[in-house]
Chains A and B, each alone.
Chain A
């Protein structure tokens, strides 16, 4: 399941909210604090929803995930500082990467919980045509994959997507899951 495409639905609004906070007339510490709050709120919402979706797909909907990554502190500082030290175009790329990382973490946390619960999650790995021979050997679909499948070179840019029983049987539609609190 490619959950990353869901991230595109909030990308523009998130960028606008960040731009709103990055006011040069406001103290950098206050900007950073407000960015931390924004990123924590958005990150938690994204992570919890993706985890719940992936968990339902993998039939472990009664579980909860470990939570979003803590990288948002560092990102908030970098974004806040970018007002004075430049690099706003990099800031948009950092924000996109951060959003993608919340989605991936939700997926992977659900995957490992399912794996450890004796379910049968599947990982599908794709690589771009210019990847190295070692990464090319790891392309494919793996039922109950071991950690070797997830080893990859950043420079090769491979993508690993995970899915569960329900999506493989085409029984997912709409909103089948409920968030466990």
Chain B
């Protein structure tokens, strides 16, 4: 079973080296760390679910595979459209909270 240190390191590396979770599955299939018909991996919705069924040797190979990967190029800013939409949602939330009243609570 993967050790707590391995789990923590794998998760930290995954955040740094992978954009999305599905890339983790693709990586461990491609490296032959798990077989392609491994049901646990296919159904897993998080790295935790995969690591729960991982041996320490498999965990070591996952770490090696992650270290081999180059960090992806990522933006440090959001698009104007996305930023504007988020600000609109925040304003909407604040306005809704500002309209809270006792009516219907008692």
Contact = CB atoms under 8 A, between A and B. Distances in A.
Interface string B16-53: 10111100100000000000000000001111110000
A70 B48 CA distance: 25
A28 B76 CA distance: 9
B73 to A, nearest CB: 9
B37 to A, nearest CB: 20
Interface string B72-104: 001111100010011001101110111011111
Contacts of B105: 1-3, 5-6, 172
Interface string A158-181: 000000000100101111100000
Interface band, chain A: 35 or more
B102 A85 contact: no
A23 B32 CA distance: 29
Given A24-B19, A173-B103, A13 B78 contact: no
A154 interface: no
B14 interface: yes
Interface residues of B, number: 38
A156 interface: no
B45 A89 contact: yes
B43 to A, nearest CB: 12
A84 B18 contact: yes
B19 A87 contact: no
B97 A87 contact: no
A92 interface: no
A142 to B, nearest CB: 19
A99 to B, nearest CB: 10
A28 B80 CA distance: 18
Given A20-B89, A26-B76, A87-B48, 7 more contacts: A14-B93, A20-B85, A24-B19, A25-B75, A53-B102, A81-B11, A85-B24
21 contacts: A1-B106, A5-B104, A14-B93, A17-B86, A20-B86, A21-B78, A23-B78, A24-B20, A28-B15, A38-B90, A42-B90, A42-B93, A46-B97, A49-B100, A83-B21, A84-B18, A84-B21, A90-B46, A172-B102, A173-B101, A173-B103
